[in-house]
Amino acid sequence: MNIKTLLLAVFASVFLAACSDGADDEMNHDAPESDEMRTLDVELFTPDHLMSGETVEMTAHVTSNDEDVTEADHVMFEIQDENEETLEEITAEHSENGEYTVEYTFDETGTYTVISHVDAFSLHTMPSSEVIVE
Ligand SMILES: [Cu+2]
């Protein structure tokens, strides 16, 4: 294993650690190196109930210090099934006014968890929401 591979492995494990705690609805951790006080707030909009086969839009509205964040580093929607297995990870693009939107089709009935992972200003916020497909 060369040094580059080793570094990649370290980064990957740090990233996974940051994302593994799915129990919390929302979490903020402050980066110690940021000199300016920043908040990172994410409001996640998903349908509560829908029919299988329906394509829906899901939106994360990202704000920092009460302003829309139009250039987040990364916004990713993770879809989990009821066993917390990851079914899909979809990167969202900014549409407008701090809103990052993806489309997804829930093919099968069940209860799903949608988590929007948002990175901006060296902060990470990941609210989640339950979606019931009938
Ligand atoms: Cu995350």
CATH number at residue 74: 2.60.40.730
Percentage, residues of the chain above pLDDT 70: 73
Distance 106 CA to ligand 1 centre (A): 21
Q: For all residues of the chain together, what is the average pLDDT?
A: 85
Asked whether residue 1 is domain-assigned, the answer is: no
Q: How many CB atoms lie within 10 A of CB 28?
A: 14
Distance 103 CA to ligand 1 centre (A): 19
Number of compact structural domains in the chain: 1
Distance 117 CA to ligand 1 centre (A): 4
Could you list the residue range(s) of the whole structural domain that residue 88 is in? 41-133
Residue-wise pLDDT for 71-113, tens only, equals 999 999 999 999 999 999 999 999 999 999 999 999 999 999 9
Distance 119 CA to ligand 1 centre (A): 8
Burial of 101 (0-12, 13-18, 19+ CB in 10 A): middle
Listed residues: CB within 5 A of ion ligand 1: 19, 117, 126
